[in-house]
Amino acid sequence: MTTRTHRKNISVFINWCIFKRYMHQYTLKNIPKPPLSATLPKYYEQDRIEAILYAIEICSRTAFERVRNKAIIAVGCMTGLRRGELLALRLSDLDLINRVVHVQATTSKSKKERYVPIPLKLYEILTAYISVRNESAAVGCVDLWVSSTTGSKLSHEGLKHITEKLSKQLGFKLRMHSLRHSYGTFSYAVSHDIVAVQQNIGHSDLNTTMKYVAALSKDKHDTAEL
């Protein structure tokens, strides 16, 4: 996937060179794209998600960190937002009255805005976080997630520090993207509406979302073999 991404970025540059007449032909035309391996999404079962939440309880230094980190994990596994989308959230992106979170097109990988439903349990967690967030945030900060030390926007490094600390306590690597996969897998398991899952999770291609169907099918097969 990394190689294909680099190839895509180089392709944009080459097309610009052709447009500017610095080059006269598309040089990547005869170089095939590396095939993607048919790997199934790695998601967390319910017991692991509960273990993550328990680790937050015992690892957090302050009550604010405990409530904030729980909210971050809950948003990850109950909305399926990508790490960048999650970190880019502002307070104004939460509509707690209608219980939806607004993912802006500028922060979405697909460059399309979407509205993701907020389950009741997540609503309760977010409400609890916002009440303490407003007391800890720096004046004028409009970002949803704030640093426990500065009160300003939580950075990528800040989130990395949180996941690494929890990983040491858990004994396995906590990946935000696996929380996203958990949302996709469980959402399909409950609804069996693959189009709705695609829209909520923000996939441009339905075939990408279909991996969650395959993951569930494999788990059922493995269970039958026990």
Higher per-residue pLDDT: 59 or 34: 59
| Rama region for 130: left / alpha / beta (φ>0; ψ in -120 to 50; rest) | alpha
Would you state the pLDDT for residue 74?
Answer: 97
Exposure string over 168-207, b if 16+ CB within 10 A, otherwise e: eebeeebbbebbbbbbbbbbbeeeeebeebbbbbbbeeee
Residue 225 has pLDDT above 80, yes or no: no
pLDDT-derived band at 223 (thresholds 50, 70, 90) equals very low
Specify the range with the lowest mean pLDDT, choosing from 27-36, 46-55, 168-177. 27-36
Q: What is the pLDDT of residues 60-69, one digit of tens each?
A: 999 999 999 9
Q: What is the pLDDT of residues 154-193, one digit of tens each?
A: 999 999 999 999 999 999 999 999 999 999 999 999 999 9
Q: What is the pLDDT of residues 205-219, one digit of tens each?
A: 898 899 888 877 665
Closest by Cα among 113, 109, 111 to 1: 109
**% pLDDT > 90, the chain:** 69
Would you state the pLDDT for residue 222?
Answer: 46
Residue 36 has pLDDT above 70, yes or no: no
Residue 52 has pLDDT above 90, yes or no: yes
Q: What is the pLDDT of residues 79-114, one digit of tens each?
A: 999 999 999 999 999 999 999 999 999 999 888 999
Closest by Cα among 121, 35, 114 to 81: 114
Closest by Cα among 172, 183, 61 to 121: 183
The top-scoring range by mean pLDDT among 3-12, 32-41, 61-70, 101-110 is 61-70
Would you state the pLDDT for residue 224?
Answer: 33
Would you state the pLDDT for residue 218?
Answer: 62
Would you state the pLDDT for residue 38?
Answer: 61
Q: Which residues is 117 bridged to in the sheet?
A: 100
Would you state the pLDDT for residue 73?
Answer: 98
